[in-house]
Amino acid sequence: MVKLERLRADHAEALLAFELENREYFARSISDRGDAYFAEFDALLQDRLAEQAAGVCHFHLVTDGEGTLLGRVNLVDVEDGSAELGYRVGERAAGRGVATAAVAQVCRVAGAAYGLTSLVAVTTLDNLASRAVLGRNSFVFVEDVTLIGRPGARYRRAHLGH
């Protein structure tokens, strides 16, 4: 069972451990966060929590329902009823449907709890797993983009909450 938990200050230790454990794994497909991210983690977390409190972003941890952190799913740059979706699943949970389930849940929450009407997401063309997650969750191709210097695509999903 995949469960979304809204990011809280008491998640700091588990979140930092998750990011450190999966740093090399994530860097294979997206830009590395850099050493400063880890050195300044507590301050950055406080900044994210302030953004969340202001309603400009919504951050979530993905757990297995028993508290084990499997991934993250975030809605950033909330504006005019839309937000950008971002997600990452740790190496141990990859390939088990976690991202697909978490994105489905956040789409429902985005509409029902946050009042959003659409989400956008971008991924590189070679990230087949991410493209599959978006497709399974009714995101449709919008346009070609360049992401971290590589060919990519922007996707959009309207009709949230179902």
3-state helix/strand/coil string of 23-60: HHHHHCCCCCCCHHHHHCHHHHHHHHHHHHHHCCCEEE
d(CA 103, CA 133): 8
Asked if 4 and 61 count as a contact pair (C-beta separation under 8 A), the reply is yes
Mention the CATH class of domain 3-158: alpha beta
104: Cβ contacts below 8 Å, ≥ 6 apart: 136, 137
**pLDDT tens track for 100-135:** 999 999 999 999 999 999 999 999 999 999 999 999
Q: Domains of the chain: which residue ranges?
A: 3-158
5 secondary structure, DSSP code = E
**What per-residue confidence (pLDDT) applies to 159?**
87
HSE (side-chain half, CA atoms, 13 Å) at 21:
15
The residue among 150, 99, 106, 141 whose CA lies nearest residue 121 is 141
Taking 50 as the pLDDT cut, the residues of the chain under it are 162
122 burial level (CB within 10 Å; 0-12, 13-18, 19+): buried
The residue among 101, 102, 77, 72 whose CA lies nearest residue 89 is 72
